[in-house]
């Protein structure tokens, strides 16, 4: 099949690899332009661009496409049977959505209509969902509202993080889109409106820990925002990044954010959390034992102030 592939981050790479290895003709790869990265702020191409160039595939990286008529025409002139979209990062206008013969097929990292939007993987972990998965959707002009051609589900483990779920759903989406395009397309079914939810936009402030919340909610926050944007608290005005915690049930009468012992147990609005991985300013992330070897966080100290 003659395909255009549109994607940017690591999540999209397995799909590009799978479709190319399956023998589909990838006539063009669209991806976000290179971005400054690292201390030197040198321009770094996206993971999809790196893989496309390694395979000798033509790459286009327009800054924007929504109102670029010339880009719409160039896209249409590719004469694709379908476009496969996986975390591309730009909204496609109707002119592009309608150009491929079979439309634009999106690999979305949730079981639609739950968690439409840009951060479905994080949202599933933050909410404590028992299941997640991927949906293959024919795109329309709405926000992840198109008809669904196929789904594949996974169970979430008790220690699931956004990173671990990302690493499972990328290959799962790759296998599913390759299966969908291996023959006649499955029947596309409209999404039910019942159960529709939207994943909120993530910012650095999303990771700010509010110790008045219950320990279960904060524990999911830490897992759901690992590795990005990460979670943090403050200690005497300094930012203390939190990379892992464990739940400790039981009543206490301390104010939320109070350190309850000399082994990094912190009071929450309900129950408590043991800090298992944390990072001081200017240092690397370290486990609890390593942190306590070089620093103290004594009983009675207050976090979040």
Annotated binding site for (6S)-5,6,7,8-tetrahydrofolate: 110-113
Binding residue positions: 110-113
Pair type for strands 231-235 and 265-267: unpaired
Alpha-helical segments (H) within the chain:
13-21, 47-54, 69-76, 94-97, 120-127, 162-180, 215-224, 288-294
Give the residue from 143, 149, 230 showing the smallest Cα distance to 185.
149
Long-range CB pairs of 139-142 (<8 Å, 24+ gap) are 139/85, 139/92, 139/97, 139/103, 139/104, 139/105, 139/106, 140/97, 141/94, 141/97
Q: Give the burial string for 105-131 (b: 16+ CB within 10 Å, else e).
A: bbbbbbbbbbbbebbbbbbbbbeebee
User: Is residue 138 within 8 Å of 220, Cβ to Cβ?
Assistant: no
Q: What is the chain's alpha carbon radius of gyration, rounded to the nearest angstrom? A: 22
User: Is residue 218 within 8 Å of 272, Cβ to Cβ?
Assistant: no
Q: What CA–CA distance (Å, rounded) separates 28 from 57?
A: 7
Which DSSP symbol is given to 202? Answer: P
């Amino acid at each position: 099949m003659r395909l255009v592939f549109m994607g940017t981050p690591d999540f999209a790479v397995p799909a590009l690899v799978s479709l190319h290895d399956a023998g589909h003709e990838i006539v063009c790869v669209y991806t976000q332009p290179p971005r400054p990265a690292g201390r030197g702020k040198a321009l770094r191409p996206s993971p999809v661009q790196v893989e496309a160039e390694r395979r000798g595939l033509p790459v286009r990286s327009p800054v924007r496409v929504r109102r670029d008529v010339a880009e719409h025409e160039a896209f249409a002139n590719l004469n694709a049977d379908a476009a496969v979209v996986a975390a591309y990062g730009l909204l496609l206008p109707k002119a592009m959505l309608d150009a491929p013969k079979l439309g634009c097929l999106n690999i979305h990292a949730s079981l639609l209509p739950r968690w439409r939007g840009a951060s479905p993987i994080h949202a599933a972990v933050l909410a404590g969902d028992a299941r997640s998965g991927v949906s293959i959707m024919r795109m329309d002009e709405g926000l992840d509202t198109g008809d669904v051609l196929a789904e594949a589900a996974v169970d979430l483990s008790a220690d699931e993080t956004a990173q671990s779920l990302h690493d499972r759903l990328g290959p799962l989406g790759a296998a599913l889109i390759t299966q969908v395009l291996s023959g006649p397309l499955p029947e596309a079914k409209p999404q039910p409106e019942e159960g529709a939810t939207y994943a909120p936009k993530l910012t650095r402030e999303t990771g700010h820990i509010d110790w008045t919340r219950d320990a279960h909610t904060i524990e999911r926050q830490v897992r759901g925002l690992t590795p990005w944007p990460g979670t943090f608290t403050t200690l005497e005005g300094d930012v203390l990044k939190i990379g892992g915690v464990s739940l400790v049930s039981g009543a206490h009468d301390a104010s939320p954010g109070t350190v309850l012992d000399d082994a990094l147990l912190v009071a929450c609005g309900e129950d408590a959390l043991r800090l298992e991985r944390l990072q001081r300013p200017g240092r690397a992330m370290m486990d609890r034992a390593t942190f306590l070897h070089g620093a103290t966080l004594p009983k009675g100290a207050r976090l979040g102030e």
